[in-house]
Structures are given as structure tokens and as C-alpha cells.
Amino acid sequence: MTTGCKTTTVFLTVLCALLLTILGLVQVWPTWAWATLAVLVVGAPAAALRIAAARRGSVPVGFEEQRTAVPIERTEHRIRHVPLPSQWADYDFLFSATVRWYPLEANGYDPVANPAGLAVETVLDHARALTEQREPGRASLVQHELSGALSRMSPDHTGHLQVMAENVTLTLREHDQARLDKLAEVRKDKAVWEHQRKYEQSKREYLGEDVLKDTGSAVVWWLAKNDDHLEKTVGDLGLLAQLTSAANDTDVPDRLRDFLPQSQSDRPYLETADAPSASFTREPTAADHFEAFLSGMGFTDGDDRRGMLAKQIADIIKTQERHETAEELLRRFDPPASYGPVDDAPSDTP
């Protein structure tokens, strides 16, 4: 019998005894009635307890009273921009989160001096085990995976704490993200280029190995393209023959030469008058102008005055830093080594 049942039994017994006492006083019971009442008041609770014990049996039933659970003390610590490795070398994730934990009942005397460090280590170990298997280009997806994986309390490797993390963010460095974007663009461009190259190869194989294999195949292909223009196809036989021969690096068959358009070599030659060739005219130099000056003065070739004037003009030109022109005058007119004034009449010696 539980404590509550015992209390109820005693309360009812006392209440019944009071009622019977009041009734006995009112009815003026005899003495033997009061003795009987006393026996009933004392024996009834004892009998009730024995009956309850007999119904329970010989094995006592344990009962644990309900009690309010002791509140769990939880603490937290914020970590920011912790590098975590990704599947690609040198492309680390930047991990940020709020780490929460609460202590477990320790077995023996083994206290934890820095529970925050132990909790952070546990969270980083769990996060690193996941990020090492993920590519850096999926940072947002990996962030949601980490949020789910770290949202449940789990014990650390020492068994002292229950640890979890919330407010998880996972990003990349800006320059790493820029490189990944460039790599993605290059991969896309490469894929497009490869498809274009395969398309061009397929087209060349189709034209070279099927359409332009011979003139007959080219004619059939042209008819399929222009099924309503038979006359046009016949008129293009020469062109198709030339294309087929050029594609196969062969000469046009003799049977198809009549369909070829008239070449330039077969046309009548038209004589054209030869255009007069333009002669090269040298620009007159300073020496040419000086010679014209001498001729205008009446100093003909062989006149000594030509050389003397050339020497005088050359000396003057040299003072003006025109040495090349002066040398040209001296070479052209070849003046004497020395000259002097010429008297009009010879002088008599005494």
C-alpha cells in the first residue's frame, strides 16, 4: 500500500470513529457498546492493511514517485571562419557556427577544465569529416548538410559532453570563388567547343565520304535538295563535277568536261595596247642647280672659273654645316688645288 492509500485509510477511520462517538453520546449507548466501538476503530485499519498486503502478494511492488527533472545546464560558444578542407587541394571552406553543449555525469573523478574547447573540437571533427568529401563549388549545399548533421546532440570522444551546433554558415574566400567561377566558364566553353568540333567533323565526313564521294553521289544529293528543279541540276553538272574532283584531289573525268563552264584560257585573247611605262625622274640636286647657274653665266665646260667658283661656294657651304653638298660640288667640278687672282695685264719686272 502506498503512502497515499495509508493516509486515506487513517483519515476515514478517524472520521468514522468521530461519527460513531457522536452517535453513541446521543443514543446513550451502554458500556459494552463503547468497548465494541473501540475494538472496531482499532481493528478496522489493521484488517484493511492486512487485506491489501494479501492482495499484493509476497513480492513488494516498487514504486518511484514522479518528480520534476533537474534542468540541464547548457552553454554555447561562437566560432567564425574556421578553414576546413574540401575535396580539392587549396580550396578550403570557411566554417562558422554556434557550438552548444551540456555535461554528462562523469564516471570517476575526471573533470574537464575547458569544456568549450572540447565541444568545439568535437564539432570541427564532425564537420571536417563531411567537407573533405565535398567539392568546393557546392558550398551552399554542404552548408545545409552540415546544419542537419550537427543539429543533434552527440557525445564527444571522451564521454563528458553532449555537443551540437546551430547557425551554421559555410563560405569560400572571395578569390577562390572567383577562380571557381572562371573554371566553370572555361569548362562550359570547352564543352561547347567540343560539340561544335564534333559537329564540324561529322559534317565533313558526311560531305567528303558520302555526298562528294563521286559525281554521281553529288548529283543524287543535289536532286534531293532540289527535287523540283531538274533543269537546274542538269545545268549544275559541271559545277558538281568540279566540286567532286576538288574534294577528292582528282581531275574531272573526260565524259564530264563538256559540262564544264568555259574557262578563261579558252576565251579569245583580247590584245590591249601596252601602257607606256612611267620613267623615273630624279629630282635635281643642289649641284644640278649650281651647274645650271654656271651655264647661265656663260661658264662652259673647261672654263677654269667654274672650278674656282665651285671651291668658293663649297667653302661657304661648309660654314653652314652642309658638308655633303660641299663635297658633291668639289667632286663634280674638280677645282684646282690652289688658285689666285688673275691680273688683266702682265706686270714688267725692273
Q: Say if residue 91 is in the same domain as residue 42.
A: no
**Between vectors from CA 267 to CA 263 and to CA 270, what angle results, nearest 5°?**
135
Q: Say if residue 309 is in the same domain as residue 257.
A: no
User: Is residue 249 domain-resident?
Assistant: yes
Classify residue 136 by its DSSP letter.
Answer: G
Distance CA 17, CA 267 (A): 151
SS3 93: strand
The residue among 201 and 56 whose pLDDT is bigger is 201
User: Is residue 206 domain-resident?
Assistant: no
- Residue type for 130, please? L
Is this prediction's pTM over 0.85? Answer: no
Q: Say if residue 95 is in the same domain as residue 38.
A: no
Q: Say if residue 42 is in the same domain as residue 89.
A: no
Q: Say if residue 51 is in the same domain as residue 89.
A: no
User: Is residue 271 domain-resident?
Assistant: no
Q: What strand order describes the sheet that includes 93-103? A: 75-84, 93-103, 161-172, 154-155
Q: Say if residue 223 is in the same domain as residue 168.
A: no
Query: What total number of domains does the chain contain?
Result: 4
Contact 74, 115 (CB under 8 A): no
Query: Among 163, 160, 141, 143, which residue's Cα sits nearest to residue 152?
Result: 163
For residue 75, list its beta bridge partners. Answer: 101
User: Is residue 31 domain-resident?
Assistant: yes
- State the cell numbers at 17: 470513529
Contact 48, 98 (CB under 8 A): no
Structural domain span for residue 243: 211-263
Distance CA 308, CA 1 (A): 160
Mean pLDDT across 266-271: 45
Q: Say if residue 158 is in the same domain as residue 118.
A: yes
Distance CA 31, CA 35 (A): 7
Residues sharing a CB contact under 8 Å with residue 77, sequence separation 6 or more, in sequence order:
98, 99, 116, 119, 120
| pLDDT at position 44 over 60 | yes
User: Is residue 194 domain-resident?
Assistant: no
The per-residue pLDDT for 272 is: 40
Q: Say if residue 93 is in the same domain as residue 156.
A: yes
Q: Say if residue 98 is in the same domain as residue 140.
A: yes
The enclosing domain of 171 has a CATH number of 3.30.479.30
Q: What is the mean pLDDT of the chain?
A: 77
User: Is residue 92 domain-resident?
Assistant: yes
Q: Say if residue 79 is in the same domain as residue 117.
A: yes
Mean pLDDT across 5-22: 71
User: Is residue 345 domain-resident?
Assistant: no
Banded model confidence at residue 248, pLDDT cuts 50, 70, 90: confident
The residue among 187 and 316 whose pLDDT is bigger is 187
Distance CA 308, CA 335 (A): 6
The per-residue pLDDT for 74 is: 65
Distance CA 114, CA 181 (A): 42
Of 11, 26, 56, the residue at which a domain comes to its end is: 56
Task: For 54-80, give one letter per residue: b (16+ CB within 10 A) or e.
Answer: eeeeeeeeeeeeeeeeeeeeeeebebe
The residue among 327 and 176 whose pLDDT is bigger is 176
Distance CA 274, CA 267 (A): 20
Distance CA 322, CA 329 (A): 11
Phi-psi region of 252 (alpha: psi -120 to 50; beta: other; left: phi over 0): beta
Residues sharing a CB contact under 8 Å with residue 222, sequence separation 6 or more, in sequence order:
233, 236, 240
Mean pLDDT across 175-189: 94
The per-residue pLDDT for 69 is: 54
| pLDDT at position 128 over 90 | yes
Contact 76, 97 (CB under 8 A): no
The residue among 342 and 217 whose pLDDT is bigger is 217
Of 155, 175, 195, the residue at which a domain comes to its end is: 175
Q: Say if residue 259 is in the same domain as residue 296.
A: no
The per-residue pLDDT for 170 is: 96
Classify residue 255 by its DSSP letter.
Answer: G
Q: Say if residue 82 is in the same domain as residue 167.
A: yes
Contact 251, 245 (CB under 8 A): yes
φ, ψ of residue 91 to 5 degrees: the values are: -120, 85
The per-residue pLDDT for 324 is: 81
pLDDT per residue as tens digits for the range 63-105? 444 555 555 566 899 999 999 999 999 999 999 999 999 988 7
User: Is residue 180 domain-resident?
Assistant: no
In percent, the amount of the chain with pLDDT more than 70 equals 73
Contact 103, 112 (CB under 8 A): yes
The residue among 119 and 105 whose pLDDT is bigger is 119
